[in-house]
Each structure stands twice: as structure tokens, then as C-alpha cells.
Structure 1
Amino acid sequence: MRTESTGYIVAVCLRRGHHFSKTPSLSIRLLAGLGVEGDGHMGALVQHRYDRRRDHARPNLRQVHLIPSELFDELRAKGFTIQPGDLGENVTTSGIDLAALPTGTRLHLGKSAVIELTGLREPCVLMDRFHEGLKAATLDRDADDNVICKAGVMAIVVADGEVAPDDTIGVELPEGQRRPLEPV
């Protein structure tokens, strides 16, 4: 399927261990089937502490966390000061409405990395521990009163590659019937 370059990477972040925020880096390496090399959420099986306690043998659908930089602008207008990595994302993007993409969309990052979107990041209580009121600020409602999660999207890595700020992002939509992203 045809891939179009529609956005770019603003920042890349990682952090060893399980922490809410991640540290901006000059580049990150994505490893197929595992995630971000050296990151606390890297692994073929679920790494999120809460989910791992429930079922440690589930596949890791949260290998890479992406947030659009446009969310930071929206949060600034609400009085929050958020920088890349603060919300735990590995990749901060610009120019792509990530949450509007369907499940299974492939994003081509930089020269060779490819990730596949698995779902939405559901805002959690840790957001309020980071900054009071942040969880509510990343939730919204559509015209039908359905909850909209704006805390980013999750993905798995399907092709290795080095990723850095200013790299382009190509979007490859899935073939066939498309399903909207749901929380994972």
C-alpha cells in the first residue's frame, strides 16, 4: 500500500525502569517485536506493571508510545506546562492526527523503522500525580457523548530502525475494513 509522508518527529525519549516520564534523547533504536531499545517498556510480553500483574503472558501491545505535540499546545492553553517525554511517550510527533488513524495503521519513521498502531493510551491516575487535573485535561467527549482519549497512541515495532527528531513520518493505512483505535 502507498505511504505518504505527512508529519515529522519532534522528539524521541526513553528511560530504563518503570517511570512516568521519559528522558529526551538524540535518537532511539526501535527493535522489531520488542520496542525501544533500553526502555523500561521494551519486551515481547506485556511490561506495563498493572497489566503484567493481571496477565504476564499477554503480548505487549504498548511497545512504543506516541503523542502529538499539538496536545502540548492544547494543554498549555489550559495552564499546563508539558515538554516532550513528560507524559511517558517515546515519540512526540507533529502534523498527524494520531488518534484519528485506524487500528493497524503503519507509521514509517525515519529511514527504516516501521510501527503498527494497536490502540489508544488511556489516561490514568499517574497523570494527576504528575500535575493535578492533567488526566481530565486529556479526556474529552464527542457529539454523541463518547469519551475521547487524547493521551496518545500505542504501537508495536514491525521493522527495526534508528529514529531521531526531524525524521519524517509516513502513514500507511490498513487495507479492508478499518476499526477505530480503542484503549489498550
Structure 2
Amino acid sequence: MSEGGEIGRVAAVACDDAHRFAKPCRGSIHLIEGLGVAGDAHAGVTVQHRSRVAKNPDQPNLRQVHLIHAELFDELAEQGFAIGPGRIGENITVRGIALLDLPTDTILRIGDDARIRITGLRNPCHQLEAVQAGLTQAVLARAPDGSLIRKAGVMAIVVSGGEIRPGDTVRVTLPAGPHRRLEAV
């Protein structure tokens, strides 16, 4: 792995112990190695998202932590959407890092101790419509080649735990090449 040039900051953190779509923002969250966010309904070694549990409850949880770039909220505001941290289910909102451009297996070092490994893209679901009509389409786009662009953040697993707070530094470590593009997980 090679240290990347991107350094960002945590804008907000959120967690919820129930399977509600929005998560309340907190003063801090604690990441637990191999499990996810302490006290969050999506923490676990195996999948916790209800739709995935229904298909196969034994599959590994590649969605322990959900991250969104705060710049998405800025983009959505320009389109008339009033969306802020925690509203669309993310645990960590970061600013200053192009999350969607990172390759699979990128490590993010957050604060002093926490490290997470990006596993893929969040696949936006119909629940976004309950937040605000038209939001699902707003977080999807088409590339010039016609392929689908998912803008609703990335998913990760916890490599090493630690406390995370707004204002913490986020450092990017890219995996050894060749790099694999993020795909929906």
C-alpha cells in the first residue's frame, strides 16, 4: 500500500441501534475491529442489512461502516434537496476526499487509531424517496459510456478500532496496484 495525497476531515458521525433509515448525529462513535460501529444496528461479522439477511444471513458484512462525502450534500442542496449528515443512513461524513474515486481496498486512517478498508459503493435504494421525493435519482447519474454512477457513498469494514469525532483527520492509503474500481456491495 502506498500513502495517498488526500487528507480530509470528519464532518459528522452518526449511529443508531435500530434499523431506521436516518441515524442521529453523535459527538463521537467507536469503531470495533471486524464488527463496525459500536451500538449501530449494522455492526456485525455477517450481513445486518435486512434485504441481504433475507437472501443469505451467512454472507460476510462488507457494509459495516457507511461513509458519505459532505460535498454530496452541497451538490444536492444546489438541486433543492435539504439533506444533511445522518439523514441517509451514513455513519461517517467526510469532507475533502473524493471517496467515489478511490479504488477497492483503500485504507482510511481516521483520527489516531481507527482504520477502515473500503469494500465498495453503496447502492442507493428506494428508501431515499421517503427522505425526499426524487432523491434516489439525484444520487444516480450516467457516465458517458452509459454505465451507472452511484453517488450515495462507500461502504467499508473496520481494520482497527478507535474513537472518531467530527474534526478528526482522515488519511488515504491506496492499495498496491493494479487498482480495482469500486463496485456496489
Q: State the 4+ residue runs in structure 1 displaced beyond 6 angstroms.
A: none
In the TM superposition, what are the counterparts of 1:62-77 in structure 2 within 5 Å?
62-77=63-78
> Does the CA-based 8 Å contact 2:15-2:25 persist in structure 1?
yes
User: Which residue pairs with 1:113 in the alignment?
Assistant: 114
The letter for the 2-side match of 1:63 is: Q
Whether 1:3 aligns to 2:3 is yes
> Does the CA-based 8 Å contact 2:114-2:161 persist in structure 1?
yes
The 3-state SS of whatever aligns with 2:115 is strand
User: Which residue pairs with 1:150 in the alignment?
Assistant: 151
d(CA) in 2 for partners of 1:82 and 1:60?
A: 27
The letter for the 1-side match of 2:123 is: E
The letter for the 1-side match of 2:12 is: A
d(CA) in 1 for partners of 2:16 and 2:81?
A: 23
User: Which residue pairs with 1:159 in the alignment?
Assistant: 160
User: Which residue pairs with 2:25 in the alignment?
Assistant: 24
The 3-state SS of whatever aligns with 2:20 is coil
Q: Which runs of 5 or more structure 2 residues have no equivalent in the other structure?
A: none
Q: Which runs of 5 or more structure 1 residues have no equivalent in the other structure?
A: none
User: Which residue pairs with 2:103 in the alignment?
Assistant: 102
CA-CA distance at 1:168 after TM superposition: 0.3
In the TM superposition, what are the counterparts of 1:34-73 in structure 2 within 5 Å?
34-73=35-74
For normalisation by structure 1, the TM-score amounts to: 0.98
Cα deviations by residue, 1:73-123 (Å, 9 ceiling, x for unpaired)? 000011100110001000000000101000000000000000000000011
> Does the CA-based 8 Å contact 2:2-2:176 persist in structure 1?
no
d(CA) in 1 for partners of 2:172 and 2:138?
A: 27
User: Which residue pairs with 1:84 in the alignment?
Assistant: 85
Q: What is the Cα-based RMSD across aligned positions, in Å? A: 0.9
d(CA) in 1 for partners of 2:59 and 2:117?
A: 17
d(CA) in 1 for partners of 2:174 and 2:101?
A: 11
CA-CA distance at 1:2 after TM superposition: 4.2
For normalisation by structure 2, the TM-score amounts to: 0.97
The letter for the 2-side match of 1:92 is: T
